[in-house]
Chains A and B, each alone.
Chain A
Amino acid sequence: DTAVSQTPKYLVTQMGNDKSIKCEQNLGHDTMYWYKQDSKKFLKIMFSYNNKELIINETVPNRFSPKSPDKAHLNLHINSLELGDSAVYFCASSQGLAGPSTQYFGPGTRLTVL
Chain B
Amino acid sequence: DQQVKQNSPSLSVQEGRISILNCDYTNSMFDYFLWYKKYPAEGPTFLISISSIKDKNEDGRFTVFLNKSAKHLSLHIVPSQPGDSAVYFCAAPHSGSARQLTFGSGTQLTVLP
Contact = CB atoms under 8 A, between A and B. Distances in A.
Interface of A: 4, 31, 33, 35, 40-45, 48, 50, 55-56, 90, 92, 94, 97, 100-108
Contacts of B91: 43
A102 B46 contact: yes
Contacts of A92: 43
B43 A107 contact: yes
Interface in B58-90: 87, 89
B27 to A, nearest CB: 14
B25 interface: no
B7 interface: no
Given A50-B98, A97-B97, A107 B41 contact: yes
Contact of A100 (B93, B105, B106): B93
B45 to A, nearest CB: 7
B42 interface: yes
A43 B36 CA distance: 12
Given A48-B100, A50-B98, A100-B32, A107 B42 contact: yes
Contacts of A42: 103, 105
Contacts, number: 58
B51 interface: yes
Contact of A55 (B34, B41, B87, B97): B97
Contacts of B36: 105
B102 to A, nearest CB: 8
A100 B100 contact: no
Nearest to A108: B43
Given A43-B89, A100-B49, A100-B51, A105 B98 contact: no
A103 B101 contact: yes
B49 A33 contact: no
A48 B100 CA distance: 8
A97 B91 CA distance: 16
A94 B41 contact: no
Given A90-B44, A102-B34, A105-B43, 11 more contacts: A31-B98, A40-B105, A41-B105, A44-B103, A56-B100, A100-B49, A100-B51, A103-B101, A105-B44, A105-B45, A108-B43
